[in-house]
């Protein structure tokens, strides 16, 4: 089954790079360029992973990560945070906030593909080990 990735990125060139790269490597991709559209896209598209730019219009990526983590339905959905403003302290803060991975721009293609693949696989392994509800 093709894995679904929601790409949240307001910069057109970065969004094209992310989306085109993921599509070329077999992922189904939905794009969002505004924070105000993210939660609707998550509900409608049901992605296996979200790549989340942190600096986006209307609702920041950080706020959206917090919302996802507070929502019982989406709390375990993998989020790969992506930002151009990256220091080791930023990375630690974003991971503590609830992101499952962190990447600094500019992105290297293989690192992106590795991170996406690893996060999706880890989430699937976690689901398969979850006890069945009676």
Question: What's the length of the chain?
Answer: 134
Six-digit token string for 124: 């699937």
pTM, entire model = 0.93
Rounded CA-CA distance 40/99 in Å is: 19
| Residues in contact with 118: Cβ distance below 8 Å, sequence separation at least 6, in sequence order | 101
Range 29-37 average pLDDT: 98
Question: Residue 132: pLDDT band by 50, 70, 90 thresholds?
Answer: low
pLDDT band at 27 (very low <50, low <70, confident <90, very high): very high
Q: Return the higher-pLDDT residue of 82 and 132.
A: 82
pLDDT of residue 86: 73
SS3 state at 75: coil
pLDDT bracket for residue 131 (50, 70, 90): low
Arithmetic mean of pLDDT, 56-77: 96
125 Cβ neighbours under 8 A, 6+ residues apart = none
- Residue 63: pLDDT above 80? yes
What structural domains does the chain harbor? 4-129 (3.40.50.2300)
Residue range 35-39: average pLDDT?
97
133 confidence band (pLDDT: 50, 70, 90): low
Q: State CA 36 to chain mean position distance.
A: 16
User: What is the average pLDDT score of the chain?
Assistant: 93
């Amino acid at each position: 089954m093709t894995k679904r990735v929601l790409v949240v990125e307001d910069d057109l060139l970065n969004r094209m790079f992310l989306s085109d790269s993921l599509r070329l490597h077999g992922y189904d991709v939905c794009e969002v360029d505004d924070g105000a559209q993210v939660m609707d896209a998550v509900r409608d598209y049901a992605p296996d992973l979200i790549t989340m730019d942190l600096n986006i219009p209307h609702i920041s990526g950080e706020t959206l990560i917090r919302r996802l983590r507070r929502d019982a339905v989406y709390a375990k959905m993998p989020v790969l945070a992506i930002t151009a403003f990256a220091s080791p302290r930023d990375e630690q803060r974003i991971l503590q906030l609830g992101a499952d991975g962190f990447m600094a721009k500019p992105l290297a293609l293989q690192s992106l593909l590795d991170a996406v693949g690893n996060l999706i696989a880890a989430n699937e392994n976690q689901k398969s080990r979850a006890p069945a509800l009676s």
